[in-house]
Amino acid sequence: MASAPEVLVEFVKACLERGMPRADIGRAIESGGWSPREAKGALDAFADSLLPVPVPRKRVSSSPRDAFVHLLGMAMLYTAAFATGTILFQFVDRWLPAATDDSLGISSGSLRAAAAALLVSLPILGLAHRTIGRDASRDPALRLTPIYRTLAYLTLLITSLVMAGDLIAAVVCFLSGELTVRFILKALIILLLSGGIYLWFSSDVGREERITTTTGTATIPPPPPWRDWLHRIGAAVAIVSMLAALYAAGSPFRQRQLRLDARRIGDLRAIQQNVETYFEREGVMPVTLEALADNPATFLQNTTDPATGQPYRYERIDADTYTLTATFDLPSPPEQEQPTWNRDGFFKHSVGEQSFRLSAPKQPKPSSVP
């Protein structure tokens, strides 16, 4: 039930007022160069009636509620598509790392952000889709309101440009001899995600051309059978991607333990720096950590474990050697370990209580030459 130009609507109204048959009016419009679709839209603007005057048919309009539901659903669809693509890209990078990659694995932060986006957007998208379907079951014409048609055609434009850009990049890489398996997989991910969205909305706007009106009621043809499968496959891919991202990024409990261990490492490094500063200023090692608080240059803010509240253990061994002891919840992740030349070794630890034997830098001897 496409909208027709206002001039055609006025022409059809004038013809119907003179009692002309609809078939003759349609042929007259087409003879003037208008398309059959435009002729049908102008004729559908008036209902079949036995009255001597044309009866205007009720036009489908968008209420503020319709605009809110459709805009919300479209925004959540874009969010879910981008989050799913991010997760799949991360796994492709993990399975097929490039020689120029500096990272040792996937980005846990990116996975958590994408999984959180899916965790929020999918339920909202499902609720908006259910609301639109319930409204359309009462009045099928509401499925093709002006706001939805505008968003649908805008989405078709965006996905078409994305697919065209994706194919152009693939052709350029092929001509340059740089078409790798990793690039092919990423290009396929973009093509499948944007292509699925394109098929979904193109089936909706295609059904608009086949709308029929009888006795004042708009009847929309049923959707193609593959549309239901497309909906299920898209939802399954998004949910599986979200679960895989949550599994790869680790549980919230483990993330808290990692953050606590990182805090302990930062506290130990701060203690080490202040102990060495005290040694440089005083020439001797401090007896306890409390001795560092007597000087503003060596004041320590954190001397206790952030989770248990137990103080970090400091022991002076000899004139320039000491130990620092802390209890860690997890062994150090491989990506956080430092090279062997790192002096303190805090970044490489096991689970449980760990003691680090440290030495203050040797002070240079005073020169005998005046």
DSSP 213-252: EETTEEEPPPPPTHHHHHHHHHHHHHHHHHHHHHHHH--H
**Encoded tokens for 103:** 């990272």
Q: Which residue has the higher pLDDT, 233 or 368?
A: 233
Looking at residue 179, its pLDDT comes to 76
Please check the confidence at residue 366 and state whether its pLDDT lies above 50. Answer: no
Please check the confidence at residue 264 and state whether its pLDDT lies above 80. Answer: yes
Looking at residue 290, its pLDDT comes to 85
**Encoded tokens for 163:** 């697919």
For the chain, give the mean pLDDT: 82
Q: For tokens 């120029």, name the residue.
A: 100
Looking at residue 55, its pLDDT comes to 77
Quickly state the pLDDT bin for 62 (edges 50, 70, 90).
low
Looking at residue 141, its pLDDT comes to 63
User: CA 151, CA 78: separation in Å to the nearest integer?
Assistant: 12
pLDDT tens for 151-192 read 889 999 999 999 999 889 888 888 887 778 888 999 999 999
pLDDT tens for 295-316 read 788 888 888 999 888 999 999 8
User: CA 71, CA 141: separation in Å to the nearest integer?
Assistant: 18
**Can you tell me the mean pLDDT for 194-217?**
73
**Can you tell me the mean pLDDT for 219-238?**
84
Q: Where are the beta strands (DSSP E) in 74-223?
A: 212-214, 217-219
Element (H, E) at 206: helix 181-208
Residues 31, 35, 40, 42, CA torsion sign:
negative
Please check the confidence at residue 53 and state whether its pLDDT lies above 90. Answer: no
User: CA 110, CA 115: separation in Å to the nearest integer?
Assistant: 8
33-42, 66-75, 112-121, 265-274: lowest mean pLDDT where?
33-42
% residues pLDDT > 90 (the chain): 26
User: CA 277, CA 298: separation in Å to the nearest integer?
Assistant: 7
Please check the confidence at residue 58 and state whether its pLDDT lies above 70. Answer: no
Looking at residue 104, its pLDDT comes to 47
Please check the confidence at residue 340 and state whether its pLDDT lies above 60. Answer: no
User: CA 242, CA 80: separation in Å to the nearest integer?
Assistant: 10
Residue pair 1/218 in contact by the 8 Å Cβ criterion: yes
Q: Which residue has the higher pLDDT, 42 or 117?
A: 117
pLDDT tens for 88-130 read 999 998 888 765 555 545 577 888 899 999 999 999 999 998 9
pTM beyond 0.75: the answer is no
Residues 339, 343, 346, 351, CA torsion sign:
positive
Q: Output DSSP code: residue 53.
A: S
Quickly state the pLDDT bin for 1 (edges 50, 70, 90).
very low
**Can you tell me the mean pLDDT for 56-70?**
76
Closest CA to 216 of 11, 46, 2: 46
**Can you tell me the mean pLDDT for 129-153?**
79
Looking at residue 80, its pLDDT comes to 95
pLDDT tens for 319-333 read 888 999 999 988 887
